[in-house]
Structure 1
Amino acid sequence: MSYFRQTVIQGVTYEMDHLDPFTFPCIVDDAVYIVSIEFSNHCFTESRQPQHTPDFRYLHKSKAGDERAFSIERHTDSLELPSFFRILGTSTVYFTHHDNFFFMRNAQGDQYLVFFRAFKATQKGVDVKIIVSSAYRKPNMTKWASPVQFSTLIKSKARGRQLRAGQQMRIKRG
Protein backbone atom coordinates (compact mmCIF):
# COMPACT_ATOMS: atom_id res chain seq x y z
CA MET A 1 0.00 0.00 0.00
CA SER A 2 1.35 3.42 -0.96
CA TYR A 3 2.13 6.10 1.61
CA PHE A 4 -0.19 8.48 -0.29
CA ARG A 5 -3.50 7.24 -1.58
CA GLN A 6 -4.15 7.20 -5.30
CA THR A 7 -6.69 9.68 -6.55
CA VAL A 8 -9.18 9.60 -9.41
CA ILE A 9 -9.98 12.79 -11.29
CA GLN A 10 -12.38 12.86 -14.20
CA GLY A 11 -12.02 9.10 -14.57
CA VAL A 12 -8.20 9.08 -14.60
CA THR A 13 -6.38 7.28 -11.76
CA TYR A 14 -3.22 8.92 -10.49
CA GLU A 15 -0.92 6.53 -8.63
CA MET A 16 1.28 7.82 -5.84
CA ASP A 17 3.68 4.95 -5.14
CA HIS A 18 6.59 6.86 -6.70
CA LEU A 19 6.44 9.09 -3.59
CA ASP A 20 6.76 6.25 -1.09
CA PRO A 21 9.62 6.81 1.38
CA PHE A 22 12.90 5.19 0.32
CA THR A 23 16.57 5.04 1.22
CA PHE A 24 19.66 5.21 -0.96
CA PRO A 25 23.43 5.21 -0.42
CA CYS A 26 25.32 8.46 -0.89
CA ILE A 27 29.09 8.07 -1.26
CA VAL A 28 31.15 10.94 0.12
CA ASP A 29 34.95 10.79 0.45
CA ASP A 30 35.03 6.96 0.46
CA ALA A 31 32.30 6.80 3.14
CA VAL A 32 28.81 5.49 2.44
CA TYR A 33 25.94 7.35 4.08
CA ILE A 34 22.41 5.97 4.01
CA VAL A 35 19.91 8.69 3.20
CA SER A 36 16.17 8.37 3.86
CA ILE A 37 13.79 10.43 1.72
CA GLU A 38 10.17 11.27 2.58
CA PHE A 39 7.82 13.48 0.59
CA SER A 40 5.00 15.76 1.68
CA ASN A 41 1.71 16.05 -0.16
CA HIS A 42 2.77 19.54 -1.24
CA CYS A 43 4.80 17.81 -3.98
CA PHE A 44 1.58 16.94 -5.84
CA THR A 45 -1.05 19.32 -4.41
CA GLU A 46 -1.61 23.06 -4.32
CA SER A 47 -3.67 25.49 -2.24
CA ARG A 48 -7.35 24.78 -2.70
CA GLN A 49 -9.10 27.51 -4.69
CA PRO A 50 -12.76 28.12 -5.59
CA GLN A 51 -12.19 26.86 -9.15
CA HIS A 52 -11.22 23.38 -7.92
CA THR A 53 -14.05 20.91 -8.34
CA PRO A 54 -14.74 18.43 -5.49
CA ASP A 55 -12.83 15.60 -7.19
CA PHE A 56 -9.61 17.65 -6.89
CA ARG A 57 -9.95 17.80 -3.07
CA TYR A 58 -7.11 15.95 -1.37
CA LEU A 59 -6.87 15.27 2.36
CA HIS A 60 -3.91 13.35 3.76
CA LYS A 61 -4.03 11.42 7.01
CA SER A 62 -0.85 12.96 8.45
CA LYS A 63 -2.22 16.47 8.69
CA ALA A 64 -5.80 16.88 9.80
CA GLY A 65 -7.31 19.95 8.22
CA ASP A 66 -4.57 20.33 5.61
CA GLU A 67 -7.04 20.59 2.77
CA ARG A 68 -5.26 20.84 -0.54
CA ALA A 69 -6.20 20.40 -4.18
CA PHE A 70 -4.63 17.70 -6.32
CA SER A 71 -2.48 19.22 -9.07
CA ILE A 72 -2.08 17.21 -12.26
CA GLU A 73 0.96 19.32 -13.22
CA ARG A 74 2.66 18.84 -9.84
CA HIS A 75 1.87 15.11 -9.89
CA THR A 76 3.40 14.74 -13.35
CA ASP A 77 6.50 16.67 -12.34
CA SER A 78 6.81 14.65 -9.10
CA LEU A 79 7.36 11.43 -11.05
CA GLU A 80 11.03 12.43 -11.38
CA LEU A 81 11.61 13.40 -7.73
CA PRO A 82 13.08 10.08 -6.49
CA SER A 83 15.61 9.95 -9.34
CA PHE A 84 16.60 13.59 -8.78
CA PHE A 85 17.76 12.74 -5.26
CA ARG A 86 19.51 9.51 -6.25
CA ILE A 87 21.73 11.36 -8.71
CA LEU A 88 22.44 14.60 -6.79
CA GLY A 89 25.90 13.39 -5.69
CA THR A 90 28.16 16.45 -5.73
CA SER A 91 25.58 18.68 -7.41
CA THR A 92 24.90 22.07 -5.91
CA VAL A 93 21.93 22.69 -3.66
CA TYR A 94 21.15 26.05 -2.06
CA PHE A 95 20.26 27.36 1.39
CA THR A 96 16.87 29.01 1.88
CA HIS A 97 16.28 31.74 4.44
CA HIS A 98 14.87 29.19 6.90
CA ASP A 99 17.69 26.62 7.24
CA ASN A 100 16.14 24.51 4.52
CA PHE A 101 17.59 23.75 1.13
CA PHE A 102 16.48 23.70 -2.49
CA PHE A 103 17.65 22.70 -5.93
CA MET A 104 16.29 23.37 -9.38
CA ARG A 105 15.68 21.26 -12.43
CA ASN A 106 13.93 21.85 -15.73
CA ALA A 107 10.27 20.85 -16.18
CA GLN A 108 8.77 21.53 -19.59
CA GLY A 109 10.97 24.61 -19.96
CA ASP A 110 10.13 26.01 -16.50
CA GLN A 111 12.26 26.09 -13.37
CA TYR A 112 11.14 23.24 -11.10
CA LEU A 113 12.12 23.87 -7.49
CA VAL A 114 12.50 21.17 -4.87
CA PHE A 115 12.55 22.36 -1.23
CA PHE A 116 13.72 20.04 1.54
CA ARG A 117 14.98 19.77 5.11
CA ALA A 118 17.92 17.57 6.04
CA PHE A 119 18.98 16.39 9.48
CA LYS A 120 20.81 13.62 11.29
CA ALA A 121 18.56 10.56 11.32
CA THR A 122 17.43 8.85 14.50
CA GLN A 123 16.34 5.68 12.69
CA LYS A 124 18.72 2.73 12.97
CA GLY A 125 20.66 2.07 9.78
CA VAL A 126 20.01 5.56 8.39
CA ASP A 127 22.50 8.43 8.58
CA VAL A 128 20.53 11.37 7.17
CA LYS A 129 16.81 11.99 6.85
CA ILE A 130 15.48 14.31 4.16
CA ILE A 131 11.91 15.52 4.08
CA VAL A 132 10.84 17.07 0.80
CA SER A 133 8.48 19.81 1.89
CA SER A 134 7.40 21.02 -1.55
CA ALA A 135 8.20 20.88 -5.24
CA TYR A 136 6.69 23.06 -7.92
CA ARG A 137 7.41 25.19 -10.97
CA LYS A 138 8.46 28.76 -10.29
CA PRO A 139 9.83 30.50 -13.38
CA ASN A 140 11.20 33.61 -11.67
CA MET A 141 12.93 32.24 -8.61
CA THR A 142 15.68 34.31 -7.01
CA LYS A 143 18.92 34.67 -8.94
CA TRP A 144 21.18 34.54 -5.87
CA ALA A 145 21.55 32.03 -3.03
CA SER A 146 24.23 30.39 -0.88
CA PRO A 147 25.41 27.13 -2.50
CA VAL A 148 26.60 23.90 -0.91
CA GLN A 149 27.42 20.57 -2.52
CA PHE A 150 24.80 17.94 -1.76
CA SER A 151 27.55 15.53 -0.68
CA THR A 152 28.91 18.11 1.80
CA LEU A 153 25.40 18.58 3.19
CA ILE A 154 24.98 14.82 3.67
CA LYS A 155 28.37 14.40 5.35
CA SER A 156 27.76 17.33 7.71
CA LYS A 157 24.25 16.23 8.69
CA ALA A 158 25.37 12.61 9.21
CA ARG A 159 28.03 13.87 11.62
CA GLY A 160 25.52 16.10 13.41
CA ARG A 161 27.23 19.29 12.30
CA GLN A 162 25.48 22.51 11.37
CA LEU A 163 26.20 24.08 8.03
CA ARG A 164 26.35 27.83 7.74
CA ALA A 165 25.28 29.61 4.62
CA GLY A 166 28.22 31.16 2.85
CA GLN A 167 28.36 34.02 0.42
CA GLN A 168 25.46 34.21 -1.99
CA MET A 169 26.30 33.42 -5.59
CA ARG A 170 24.44 33.45 -8.88
CA ILE A 171 22.30 30.31 -9.07
CA LYS A 172 23.29 27.73 -11.66
CA ARG A 173 20.17 26.88 -13.62
CA GLY A 174 19.76 23.10 -13.98
Structure 2
Amino acid sequence: MQDLRYDRAVADVIEVIMFDQWMRHYFAIERDGKLFLEIPEDVLDEIRREHPALFTLAEPVNNQEITYQKCQDNVCTFMASTLDGGKYADGVVATVFDSKPFKIEQYVFSLWLKGHESYLDAERRGFAEWKEMYENWKKMDEVREYIFKLQAGTAGQENTSTTVH
Protein backbone atom coordinates (compact mmCIF):
# COMPACT_ATOMS: atom_id res chain seq x y z
CA MET A 1 0.00 0.00 0.00
CA GLN A 2 1.29 3.46 -0.84
CA ASP A 3 2.16 5.73 2.08
CA LEU A 4 -0.55 8.22 1.07
CA ARG A 5 -3.21 5.50 1.00
CA TYR A 6 -2.01 4.19 4.37
CA ASP A 7 -2.10 7.74 5.76
CA ARG A 8 -5.72 7.95 4.59
CA ALA A 9 -6.51 4.68 6.36
CA VAL A 10 -5.01 6.09 9.57
CA ALA A 11 -7.04 9.29 9.12
CA ASP A 12 -10.25 7.31 8.51
CA VAL A 13 -9.73 5.21 11.64
CA ILE A 14 -9.00 8.33 13.70
CA GLU A 15 -12.11 10.01 12.29
CA VAL A 16 -14.24 7.09 13.49
CA ILE A 17 -12.69 7.31 16.95
CA MET A 18 -13.17 11.09 17.01
CA PHE A 19 -16.80 10.71 15.99
CA ASP A 20 -17.40 8.16 18.74
CA GLN A 21 -15.82 10.56 21.26
CA TRP A 22 -17.89 13.44 19.91
CA MET A 23 -21.14 11.46 20.32
CA ARG A 24 -20.30 10.44 23.86
CA HIS A 25 -19.04 13.93 24.76
CA TYR A 26 -22.33 15.62 23.91
CA PHE A 27 -25.01 12.96 24.07
CA ALA A 28 -24.15 10.59 26.91
CA ILE A 29 -26.79 10.91 29.61
CA GLU A 30 -26.72 9.27 33.03
CA ARG A 31 -29.97 7.64 34.03
CA ASP A 32 -30.44 5.34 37.02
CA GLY A 33 -26.68 4.97 37.42
CA LYS A 34 -26.22 3.89 33.80
CA LEU A 35 -25.04 5.79 30.74
CA PHE A 36 -27.26 6.13 27.69
CA LEU A 37 -26.59 7.76 24.36
CA GLU A 38 -29.44 10.07 23.43
CA ILE A 39 -28.90 11.88 20.15
CA PRO A 40 -31.80 14.20 19.32
CA GLU A 41 -33.56 13.63 16.01
CA ASP A 42 -32.43 16.98 14.57
CA VAL A 43 -28.80 16.05 15.29
CA LEU A 44 -29.30 12.62 13.69
CA ASP A 45 -30.66 14.42 10.63
CA GLU A 46 -27.58 16.66 10.64
CA ILE A 47 -25.30 13.61 10.88
CA ARG A 48 -27.22 11.87 8.09
CA ARG A 49 -26.86 14.97 5.91
CA GLU A 50 -23.30 16.10 6.73
CA HIS A 51 -21.59 12.81 7.61
CA PRO A 52 -23.57 10.06 5.87
CA ALA A 53 -20.74 7.55 6.13
CA LEU A 54 -20.70 7.96 9.92
CA PHE A 55 -24.46 7.80 10.39
CA THR A 56 -24.34 4.01 10.67
CA LEU A 57 -21.98 4.45 13.62
CA ALA A 58 -24.52 6.61 15.47
CA GLU A 59 -27.73 4.77 14.67
CA PRO A 60 -27.13 1.42 16.46
CA VAL A 61 -26.13 3.04 19.76
CA ASN A 62 -28.66 5.85 19.87
CA ASN A 63 -31.13 5.57 22.75
CA GLN A 64 -29.17 2.59 24.08
CA GLU A 65 -27.28 1.99 27.27
CA ILE A 66 -23.60 2.42 26.56
CA THR A 67 -20.53 0.98 28.19
CA TYR A 68 -16.91 1.11 27.18
CA GLN A 69 -17.24 -2.39 25.73
CA LYS A 70 -20.39 -1.55 23.73
CA CYS A 71 -18.75 1.56 22.30
CA GLN A 72 -15.62 -0.38 21.42
CA ASP A 73 -17.69 -3.14 19.79
CA ASN A 74 -19.70 -0.56 17.82
CA VAL A 75 -16.55 1.17 16.57
CA CYS A 76 -14.87 -2.12 15.64
CA THR A 77 -17.99 -3.44 13.89
CA PHE A 78 -18.30 -0.19 11.95
CA MET A 79 -14.66 -0.28 10.87
CA ALA A 80 -14.86 -3.95 9.90
CA SER A 81 -17.98 -3.39 7.81
CA THR A 82 -17.04 -0.09 6.13
CA LEU A 83 -13.26 0.23 6.09
CA ASP A 84 -11.65 -3.19 6.30
CA GLY A 85 -12.35 -5.12 3.12
CA GLY A 86 -14.53 -2.28 1.86
CA LYS A 87 -12.60 0.92 1.42
CA TYR A 88 -9.27 -0.79 2.14
CA ALA A 89 -7.94 -4.29 1.64
CA ASP A 90 -8.72 -6.92 4.27
CA GLY A 91 -6.46 -6.58 7.29
CA VAL A 92 -5.41 -2.97 6.70
CA VAL A 93 -7.34 -1.64 9.70
CA ALA A 94 -5.62 -4.15 11.98
CA THR A 95 -2.23 -2.96 10.76
CA VAL A 96 -3.32 0.65 11.34
CA PHE A 97 -4.06 -0.07 15.00
CA ASP A 98 -0.54 -1.42 15.47
CA SER A 99 1.16 1.40 13.58
CA LYS A 100 3.24 4.22 15.01
CA PRO A 101 1.38 6.88 12.95
CA PHE A 102 -1.95 5.76 14.42
CA LYS A 103 -0.63 5.65 17.98
CA ILE A 104 0.82 9.14 17.61
CA GLU A 105 -2.37 10.51 16.05
CA GLN A 106 -4.51 8.94 18.77
CA TYR A 107 -2.22 10.37 21.46
CA VAL A 108 -2.25 13.84 19.87
CA PHE A 109 -6.05 13.74 19.59
CA SER A 110 -6.23 12.78 23.27
CA LEU A 111 -4.06 15.79 24.15
CA TRP A 112 -6.28 18.07 22.08
CA LEU A 113 -9.42 16.70 23.70
CA LYS A 114 -8.07 17.14 27.23
CA GLY A 115 -6.67 20.57 26.49
CA HIS A 116 -9.89 21.85 24.96
CA GLU A 117 -12.40 20.12 27.22
CA SER A 118 -13.74 23.26 28.89
CA TYR A 119 -14.10 24.99 25.52
CA LEU A 120 -15.89 21.97 24.04
CA ASP A 121 -18.13 21.78 27.10
CA ALA A 122 -19.22 25.42 26.81
CA GLU A 123 -21.65 24.62 23.98
CA ARG A 124 -22.43 21.78 21.63
CA ARG A 125 -20.30 21.96 18.55
CA GLY A 126 -20.90 19.99 15.40
CA PHE A 127 -18.58 17.18 14.43
CA ALA A 128 -17.31 19.12 11.40
CA GLU A 129 -16.30 21.94 13.76
CA TRP A 130 -14.45 19.45 16.00
CA LYS A 131 -12.51 18.14 13.01
CA GLU A 132 -11.69 21.62 11.77
CA MET A 133 -10.58 22.80 15.22
CA TYR A 134 -8.39 19.74 15.65
CA GLU A 135 -6.76 20.08 12.23
CA ASN A 136 -6.12 23.80 12.76
CA TRP A 137 -4.64 23.10 16.21
CA LYS A 138 -2.27 20.55 14.69
CA LYS A 139 -1.02 23.25 12.29
CA MET A 140 0.22 25.44 15.14
CA ASP A 141 4.02 25.64 15.20
CA GLU A 142 4.51 24.24 18.69
CA VAL A 143 2.08 21.37 18.03
CA ARG A 144 3.70 20.54 14.69
CA GLU A 145 7.09 20.57 16.40
CA TYR A 146 5.84 18.25 19.13
CA ILE A 147 4.30 15.86 16.57
CA PHE A 148 7.60 15.85 14.68
CA LYS A 149 9.42 14.93 17.91
CA LEU A 150 6.92 12.12 18.52
CA GLN A 151 7.44 10.82 14.98
CA ALA A 152 11.22 11.02 15.34
CA GLY A 153 11.07 9.39 18.74
CA THR A 154 12.78 12.35 20.37
CA ALA A 155 9.88 13.65 22.44
CA GLY A 156 11.11 13.53 26.00
CA GLN A 157 9.60 14.41 29.29
CA GLU A 158 9.85 18.12 28.62
CA ASN A 159 7.15 20.26 30.12
CA THR A 160 4.54 20.74 27.39
CA SER A 161 1.20 22.37 27.96
CA THR A 162 -1.83 20.45 26.80
CA THR A 163 -3.87 23.63 26.50
CA VAL A 164 -3.02 25.37 23.25
CA HIS A 165 -5.56 27.71 21.65
Normalization by structure 1: what TM-score?
0.30
Which of the pair is proportionally richer in helix?
2
Normalization by structure 2: what TM-score?
0.31
Which of the pair is proportionally richer in strand?
1
